[in-house]
Amino acid sequence: MESLERCAWLLRSTLVRAAVRRYLPWALLALMLGGSLVKELAPVPPSYLSNKRNVFNVYFVKVAWGWTFILLLPFIVLTNYHLTGKASVVLRRLCTLLVGTAIWYVVTTIFLHIEHYTGSCYKSPALESIRKEYNSKEECQKVGGFWHGFDISGHSFLLTYCALVIVEEMIVLQEVKMDRNHSLHFTLTSLVVALGCLVYIWVLMFICTAIYFHDLSQKVFGTLFGLMGWYGTYEFWYLKPFSPGLPPQSSSLNLKQDSYKK
C-alpha cells in the first residue's frame, strides 16, 4: 500500500500541476513535429515499439478511448461526489465521457471517409499499377490489393485527445483531501496510479507514432484534430452554463453548481 501511495503522490504532484495543463498541448505538437523530422532526416532503427503488434499498441492504443472511458468513469464519480455531494453534479460531469465518445466516433469516421474518397486500389504498396475496378478499401483488400489514400493518423488524434482529457479531469485532485482511513482511499489511489500511467503510455506511444509511422501531413492533421477536440470542449464549451462543466475547482463551494469555473 505504501508503494502505491508513493506512486500516486508522484503522479499527482506532476500531472496536476497547472504548468502541465498549460504546456502539454504545445509539448505534444512539438513532439509530433520533432519525431516526424527524425523519421524523415535520420530514421531510427526498427525496435519493439516500431512493430505494430507490440503489447502497448495492441492492448492499449487500439482501444485508447475505451481505457480512458473505463478509468475516468469511476474517477469522476468518486471525486466529484466527494467534493459536491450532489448526484446531479456527478451526472452532469459524466456527460463529458459521452461527449468524448461522440468526438471519437465522429472524427474517426471522418478519417475513414477521407481515406476512402482520396484513395485508389493498387496491386502492391509500390503503387505501380492501379486497379480501377475496385472502388472501396474493403473490396480492394479482399482481392489482395493495397488501398492508398490520405490516411490521417488516428493514433495522433486519439492519443493527443485522451492524454489531454485525463490531465484536465485530474485537476480535481487539487481539491480532494482524503486521509488513509477513508473508505475510498485505496480505490481513489489506485485510480490515480492507473490514470497517471495511462497518460505516460499515451505520450510514449504518441512519440513512437511520430518517429515510426505516417507522413508528416497525416500526423499534423491527426494531432490538430485531437487539439481541437480538447480545446473546443475544455477551453470553450465547458466554460458555458449549458455544458457538462469543468471539474470542481474550489472545495469551499462544494455544494453549489457554480463551483465550476465559468
* Distance from C-alpha of 112 to C-alpha of 120, rounded to nearest angstrom: 13
Catalytic residue at 82? no
Domain ranges of the chain: 2-42+51-246
Is the pLDDT reported for residue 193 higher than 80?
Answer: yes
Catalytic residue at 155? yes
Catalytic residue among 148, 155, 182, 185: 155
**What is the band of 258 on the pLDDT scale with cuts at 50, 70, 90?**
very low
* Distance from C-alpha of 232 to C-alpha of 223, rounded to nearest angstrom: 14
Task: Work out the angle at residue 222's Cα, subtended by the Cα atoms of residues 98 and 145, and round it to the nearest 5 degrees.
Answer: 105
How large is the average pLDDT for residues 149-166? 97
Predicted confidence at residue 13, as pLDDT, reads 86
Whether 69 and 101 have beta carbons less than 8 Å apart is answered as yes
How large is the average pLDDT for residues 189-195? 95
Is the pLDDT reported for residue 33 higher than 80?
Answer: yes
Catalytic residue among 116, 148, 185, 214: 214
Instruction: Give the global pTM.
Output: 0.91
Predicted confidence at residue 250, as pLDDT, reads 65
Segment 50-106, tens digit of pLDDT: 999 999 999 999 999 999 999 999 999 999 999 988 999 999 999 999 999 999 999
Find residue 146's DSSP bridge partners. Answer: 122
How large is the average pLDDT for residues 234-252? 86
Helices marked H in the chain — which ranges? 2-15, 18-41, 55-59, 64-84, 87-117, 137-142, 154-170, 185-212, 216-234
Is the pLDDT reported for residue 260 higher than 70?
Answer: no
Task: Say whether 35 sits in a helix, a strand or coil.
Answer: helix
* Distance from C-alpha of 4 to C-alpha of 187, rounded to nearest angstrom: 11
Q: Specify the higher pLDDT residue, 123 or 237.
A: 237
Is the pLDDT reported for residue 48 higher than 80?
Answer: yes
